[in-house]
Amino acid sequence: MPVEMRMWRIDGDQPRPLTAAVLPAEKDLHQFLAQDASLLGERLLVVGSEVLTPYGKRIDLLAIDADGNLHLLELKRDKTPREVVAQALDYGSWVSTLSRDHVIDIATGHLDERFEVAFERVFDSPPPDELNGELHLTIVAAELDGSSERIVTYLRGFGVPVNAVFFSYLEDEGRRYLARSWLVDDQVVSTAPGSKKSKRAQWNGQDWYVNFGTHGRDWQDGLEVGFVSAGGSPRSSRTLRTIPVGDRVNVYVPGSGYVGVGVTLAEAKRFDSALIQRDGQWAPLARQELRGSYRHAAPEKVETDDFAEWVLPVKWLTAVPLDAAFSEPGLFSNPGTSCKLRQEFTLERLAAHFDLDKDGED
């Protein structure tokens, strides 16, 4: 039977039902959720409203959670149960294919600030290595009919990540309330055959993606001297500073592509105290002839650890100049930061292009 929401106010020992009312317009739900998608019960960042699909249709709302998973929110409005469920599934088949770059493009067109800034503001952490690892389809309605309930429940039995939520609008002596009720509690883990918690790839325990940005740096320095570096903000250097000795770095230069794969020789240190290997001996990096400045503050200012340049010395397994950088559609990239490299496609293509065996050796 259809889900029903009732609420009572307790006056002394006497429960008094609140009066159910009708939303001025179901479009108000769209506005409420666009302003604060946490009405659904978890912190969400709305990254798109009326998102245009390649088929000329528009997704009501697209949001993202702290794990980088996308949430497609489709309002029922005046559609029949069959129409709204079919539409959500149709849209979901497209959203599930969106790459990290495509998600960020959608967010850039919707947000008033950079996606990375908005994500960190809402979730108090930078975006994860991968986006859109898992998709959630949610049908939003002012009321839920029996047919919608049966269809959604049936699909969930086959592992389809769809749910329905409806909002009741109530009034009480001039006060207005919005109450939420989910068809199925998503905290209950599905045991349906073929269902899985996440599509996020497992990390192999040794490969890292390193973004060798061009702000104050010159890749030719890293290529010739043997190092990677990052800095200018806590986010830029945070992951680089945690990469262990002996792990493998896959180096990407924005706007060019992948330029090298190497093994780290020591822990990361600030530029002023960093050492690199020259002719089998350790030597101060700051005393080398370098093209880049590797500075992020005026000379008279002292750079703190969070804003200084941090350096990892590297033994290159393979490395090439910028004009020979490797780039093709589908390769992983993460603007402005380093991270664990999980994407098997990228690892396989790098190994093939740079003629590395499966263990990363020439």
What are the tens digits of pLDDT across the range 111-148? Answer: 998 898 889 888 887 788 778 888 999 988 877 778 87
Q: Is the pLDDT of residue 194 over 50?
A: no
pLDDT at 91: 93
Q: Is the pLDDT of residue 96 over 80?
A: yes
In this prediction, residues 31-56 reach a mean pLDDT of 88
Q: How does residue 84 score in pLDDT terms, banded at 50, 70 and 90?
A: confident
CB-based contacts of 354: which residues, under 8 Å, 6+ apart?
A: 261, 317, 318, 326
Q: Is the pLDDT of residue 290 over 90?
A: yes
41 and 152 inside one domain:
yes
Under a CB-based contact definition with an 8 Å cutoff, are residues 52 and 37 in contact?
A: no
pLDDT at 300: 64
pLDDT at 191: 37
Percent of the chain residues topping a pLDDT of 70: 86
pLDDT in tens, 141-171: 877 778 878 888 888 888 888 998 877 777 7
132 and 211 inside one domain:
no
Average pLDDT score, the chain: 84
At residue 175, the 3 state secondary structure works out as strand
In this prediction, residues 261-286 reach a mean pLDDT of 95
Please indicate, yes or no, whether the overall pTM of this predicted structure exceeds 0.85: no
Q: Is 158 exposed, middle or buried (0-12, 13-18, 19+ CB in 10 A)?
A: exposed
d(CA 44, CA 70): 9
d(CA 320, CA 324): 6
d(CA 77, CA 30): 10
- Has residue 199 been placed in a domain? no
The domain tally of the chain equals: 2
Most confident of 40-49, 109-118, 199-208, 270-279: 270-279
- Has residue 234 been placed in a domain? yes
Q: Which carries the bigger pLDDT value, residue 188 or residue 46?
A: 46
176 and 31 inside one domain:
yes
- Has residue 11 been placed in a domain? no
Least confident of 124-133, 179-188, 224-233: 179-188
pLDDT at 22: 57
Tokens of 30: 């769209």
Q: Which carries the bigger pLDDT value, residue 31 or residue 291?
A: 291
Could you tell me the residue range of the domain that residue 79 belongs to?
A: 16-182
The Cα-based distances of 111 to 44, 95, 105 in angstroms read 14, 18, 10
- Has residue 8 been placed in a domain? no
153 and 262 inside one domain:
no
29 and 163 inside one domain:
yes
Least confident of 112-126, 185-199, 235-249, 329-343: 185-199
